[in-house]
Amino acid sequence: MSVNERRRLTAVARGEAPADLYLRGATLLNVYTGELYAANVAVAGERVAYVGLRDDMVGARTRVLEVGGRVLVPGYVDPHVHPAHLVTPSALARHVLPLGTTTVFADTLQVWELGGLPAFRAVADALAPSPLKFYWMIRPQAQSRSAGEARRFRAGDIARALDHPWAVAVGEVTRWPDAWGGEPELLRRMELAHRRRMRVEGHTAGAAAEKIAAIAAAGFTSDHEPITAREVLERARQGIAVMLRESSLRPDLAGLLDALKEAPGLASRAMLTADGSMPAFVRDHGFVDHLLRVALDRGVPPVDAYRMVSLNAATYFGLDAEVGGIAPGRHADVCVLRDLGDPRPEIVVARGRVAAERGRLLAEVPEVPWRRALGSPAARLAVRWRARPGDFALPPRGRYPVARLVSAVITRLEERPLAAGDLHAALVDRAGRWVAPGVVAGFGDRVEGLASTISTDFNILALGRSPEAMARAVNRVLALHGGIVVVDGRDVACEVPLPIGGVMTPEPLAETAALEDRLRAALAARGYPHHDPLFTLFFLSADFLPHVRLTPRGVWDVRQARVLLPARRRPRER
Ligand SMILES: [Fe+2]
C-alpha cells in the first residue's frame, strides 16, 4: 500500500474524507477478540478504513449497503490450494468468490513444470489484481524425481520467484524423508524461505510420530497431511502449524476436528483447507464454506471455526496486517451472512468491491495469458510423434511387478504372471523419446484404452487391456494437445480436453465438473472401483507414495528405491 493510500485511509477513519463503501447495521464478528457486536464498516479503495458506529465518512458518492440483521465475518482464507486442477486459477476464483473465499495460498507446480520461472511470473502478475487474492508457495522440487529435475528447478530461479511480491512460502515439500534425514540440498532450498522469514509448507503423509521432531527441526512450518486426530496432535505438539483437510481425495475433516477436544488450545492455530479438491467436489460441496459447515456440524464453537478460516491462516503466514480480519488497514474482504450457522454469504466484498451477491459473481477476475505464459511447443504439447501399439508391449517375462491399486492412490506390489483383469500401463515421454511399460491391477478390468496428461510429472499415462486402443487414446490426447481420453475399440468413449498445457481447460468450473462426472461414470462402467479417478491418474507416477509407481525410470519400488522394470527408448519415427 502506498503512503497516499494510507493517508486516505486515515482521513476516512477521521471522518474527513468520504468512504467508497459503507456497510451499515450489521453485527461484526471480531476475530481478534472473539466478540460479536454492532459495528459498521467503511471502505476506501481496497482497504477497510474504519470499523465502528460513526458515519461521518458517508458522503454523497459513498455506496451504502444496508445490512441490518446480518453478521459480518472476514472473507475466507484457504492456506493450501492447488489451483490448477483441470480448471484455471481464475475459473476456480470465479466459482469460489460467491461462496465467500477471498484469499488462497496457492501451489505453483503445474505452471513451474510447464514454463519455469517466467511462467510463474506471468501467472502471478496476471492474478495480482484479482479480487480473490492469490499468494503463492514456490515448489522447491518436482513432484517425482526425474533426470531433468535439476535443470527445471534451479535454486536461483526459486530464490527469484520468492522475491515476487505475492510469494510467501516454499512448498509444498513432498520429500519429507529427505527433510527428516537432513539432506543438505533440500535444506538449502528450504533455507531460501527461512532467510526471508517465509514459511515452508510441508507434506508428511504417513510419517510416524517419532519422525516429526527431525522434520520440524529441518524447518517444515506447516503440514496439511494428517488423516487422524492423533496425527494432528503429533505434529502440532512439535510446533508444526496444522491445516485440517477436507478434500475430494481425503474428506477427513470431521474426524480431524476431534483433536480440538483433546487440545482446545489448538483452535487458536489450526487452519482448514480444501487442498487439491477436484471441480465436481467443489461444485457439489463448496469450498471453504463447506469446511466451515463441517466444523460447525461437528460442534466447533462458531468463533473458533471462523477464526480457523481467516485470522489463523493470515497469522501463520505473517500477513495478519493484510488479510484475515475486518479491521482498519486490512484488505476489505467481508462476507455478509444471514447468521453464523450458515457460512454461504449473501454478499461478498473482496478488495473493497461487491464481488458477489446471492451466489452471483459480479466482479471481473482476470485470466492469465496462457499462450504467452506456457508458450513453448513442449508445454503446448505441439508434437509430431504418434504412439503405436508396440509401444505398450511388455518384455517377455514369467513374472511381472504388478501395481495393484488398493485405494484411489495407494498401490501394493504383486510379483506374478499376468492374470485376468490386469491392464497394460505405460508412462510415455511427452516428447515421445521413451516409454516406461508396466502392469496395473485394480483400476478397472474393462478399460480398453485410456490416456491422460494429468500425471505427476506431466508425461502421458496410458492404461488399458488393448495396446491398439491405448495407442489410439494417446494419439487422440496428442491431437487435443492434452487431456484425458477413454477409447473403446475404434471409438472415443469419453474425453476431457485440457488444452492449456495438458492440465487445464479454459472453461468454467461447473462445465468442467460435468466433464469430470462423465469421465467418472465412463470409468465406473468399465470397472473402476475407487472414488477419485483423477487422483489415481495424477498419482500413479508419484514416487513419494507407497508402494509401486510408474516413473520415467520404469516401474519403481518406492520402499526399496529400485527399478523393477526399466523404461526403454522409443524407436524414432521416420
Ligand atoms: Fe497439497
Residue 147 has pLDDT above 80, yes or no: no
Question: Could you tell me which residues come within 8 angstroms of residue 409 by beta carbon, excluding any fewer than 6 positions away?
Answer: 249, 532, 535, 536, 539, 542, 545
For the entire predicted model, the pTM comes to 0.96
Q: Distance, CA 206 to ligand 1 centroid (Å)? A: 14
The pLDDT value recorded for residue 432 is: 95
Q: Distance, CA 273 to ligand 1 centroid (Å)? A: 9
Phi and psi, residue 242, nearest 5°: -105, 135
Q: Distance, CA 299 to ligand 1 centroid (Å)? A: 26
Query: pLDDT averaged over the chain?
Result: 96
Q: Is 46 helix (H, G, I), strand (E, B) or coil?
A: coil
Q: Distance, CA 225 to ligand 1 centroid (Å)? A: 8
pLDDT tens per residue, range 17-43: 999 999 999 999 999 999 999 999 999
Q: Distance, CA 504 to ligand 1 centroid (Å)? A: 18
pLDDT tens per residue, range 508-522: 999 999 999 999 999
Q: Distance, CA 81 to ligand 1 centroid (Å)? A: 7
Q: Distance, CA 274 to ligand 1 centroid (Å)? A: 9
Q: Distance, CA 202 to ligand 1 centroid (Å)? A: 9
Section 522-541 average pLDDT:
95
Distance CA 496, CA 55 (A): 53
Q: Distance, CA 341 to ligand 1 centroid (Å)? A: 28
Closest CA to 211 of 259, 256, 243, 179: 179
Query: What are the distances in angstroms from CA 291 to CA 73, 88, 268, 308, 344?
Result: 15, 22, 17, 10, 11
Q: Distance, CA 203 to ligand 1 centroid (Å)? A: 7
| CB neighbours of residue 338 within 10 Å | 13
Closest CA to 326 of 103, 54, 29: 29
Does residue 240 contact residue 270 with C-beta atoms inside 8 Å? no
Phi and psi, residue 147, nearest 5°: -60, -45
Distance CA 193, CA 200 (A): 7
Section 142-158 average pLDDT:
90
pLDDT tens per residue, range 375-401: 888 899 999 999 999 999 999 999 999
Q: Distance, CA 417 to ligand 1 centroid (Å)? A: 36
Terminal-residue alpha carbon distance, the chain: 59
Q: Distance, CA 136 to ligand 1 centroid (Å)? A: 13
The pLDDT value recorded for residue 145 is: 82
Q: Distance, CA 247 to ligand 1 centroid (Å)? A: 10
Q: Is 167 helix (H, G, I), strand (E, B) or coil?
A: strand
Residue with cell 510408474: 550
Q: Distance, CA 169 to ligand 1 centroid (Å)? A: 13
Residues with C-beta atoms within 5 A of ion ligand 1: 275
Q: Distance, CA 476 to ligand 1 centroid (Å)? A: 30
Residue 467 has pLDDT above 80, yes or no: yes
The pLDDT value recorded for residue 574 is: 57
Confidence tier at 369 by pLDDT (50, 70, 90): very high
Residue type, 378: A
pLDDT tens per residue, range 238-252: 999 999 999 999 999
Q: Distance, CA 353 to ligand 1 centroid (Å)? A: 30
Q: Distance, CA 508 to ligand 1 centroid (Å)? A: 22
Q: Distance, CA 395 to ligand 1 centroid (Å)? A: 36
Section 416-433 average pLDDT:
96
pLDDT tens per residue, range 50-92: 999 999 999 999 999 999 999 999 999 999 999 999 999 999 9
DSSP string, 317-353: TT-TTTSSS-STTSB--EEEES-TT--S-SEEEETTE
Residue 544 has pLDDT above 90, yes or no: no
Q: Distance, CA 272 to ligand 1 centroid (Å)? A: 12
Distance CA 263, CA 358 (A): 37
Q: Which three cell numbers stand for residue 157?
A: 530461479
Residue with cell 468454467: 508
Distance CA 489, CA 218 (A): 52
Q: Distance, CA 308 to ligand 1 centroid (Å)? A: 18
Q: Distance, CA 477 to ligand 1 centroid (Å)? A: 26
Q: Distance, CA 6 to ligand 1 centroid (Å)? A: 36
Q: Distance, CA 90 to ligand 1 centroid (Å)? A: 19
For residue 450, count CB atoms less than 10 angstroms from its CB and return exposed for 0-12, middle for 13-18, buried for 19 or more.
Answer: buried
Q: Distance, CA 251 to ligand 1 centroid (Å)? A: 13
